[in-house]
Amino acid sequence: MNSLVKHGKVIRGWLGVSIQDLNQGLAKAMGLDQTIGVLVSEVAEDGPAQKAGIKRGDVILKINGKQVNNTGQLRSTIASLGAGAKVSIQYVRNKKEKTSTVELDQLPENLAAHSFFEKDYGALSGITIAPLNDGTKSKFQIPDQVNQGVIITSVKDGSPSQMANLRPGDIILEINRMEVNSVDDFRDAYKKSSNGDTLLLVYRNGRAYYLVLKK
């Protein structure tokens, strides 16, 4: 509510980490005695977490004294606290518990991912896409010379996109011969397409190929 009053929109908090749930295999490999907490797999350069000293391989246990059990809980907690909030994060590193105070930031526009789960997107519903930048290229091991398109960061199980054989790491270069260089381009190009088939130009594993989807 305060965010709406001050900014006219909700500004969610951003910690600046990629995270994953712990399982017994990961916990054992990392020398942990339990699977409680969330594993930090990547830390954004100059992000809030890095500035507070949090590193890859740390396991976040608590936020503001409240136990964190899974990635969904951590994400929703951080988002709801909002940009500018100062939070206490308790974590484990090398079997030792540490505590850092982190000032949350707002997710930078160039890192924001957008989900398209609506039925209006037909065969393309069920994907999450993000701009192609240094962060996403590094995560999905995209060559430096690839500088056009938007990247698929996730595909929902059982969705039309998965049935169309789209995968995380695929780069959408064109929709119906229209170049795609941003999330807005993606949205506009798809909505301008006809009610018939949708022609995609997709980059995967070093080559580009065309794919026809039923809208």
Q: What is the DSSP string of the chain?
A: -HHHHHHSS---EE--EEEEE--HHHHHHTT-S---SEEEEEE-TTSHHHHTT--TT-EEEEETTEE--SHHHHHHHHHHH-TT-EEEEEEEETTEEEEEEEE-EEPPGGG--EEE-SGGGGGGTTEEEEE-SHHHHHHTT--TT--SSEEEEEE-TTSHHHHTT--TT-EEEEETTEE--SHHHHHHHHHHS-SSEEEEEEEETTEEEEEEEE-
From first to last of its 215 residues, the chain has per-residue pLDDT tens of 555 455 455 567 889 887 888 888 888 887 888 888 999 877 877 889 999 999 989 999 999 999 999 888 998 899 889 889 999 999 999 889 999 999 998 866 555 566 665 556 677 888 888 888 767 787 788 887 888 899 998 888 888 888 889 999 999 999 988 999 888 888 888 877 656 678 899 999 989 999 888 76
The answer to whether domain 2-106 has CATH 2.30.42.10 is yes
Tell me the C-alpha to C-alpha distance, in Å, between residue 137 and each of 6, 16, 134, 153. 35, 17, 5, 11
Within the chain, which residue ranges are assigned CATH 2.30.42.10? 2-106, 112-214
Domain 112-214 top-level CATH class: mainly beta
Please tell me whether the overall predicted TM-score, pTM, comes out greater than 0.75 for this model.
Answer: no
Which residues have CB under 8 Å from 49's CB, separation 6+? 15, 16, 17, 40, 43, 102
User: Where does residue 158 rank: exposed (0-12), middle (13-18), buried (19+ CB within 10 A)?
Assistant: exposed
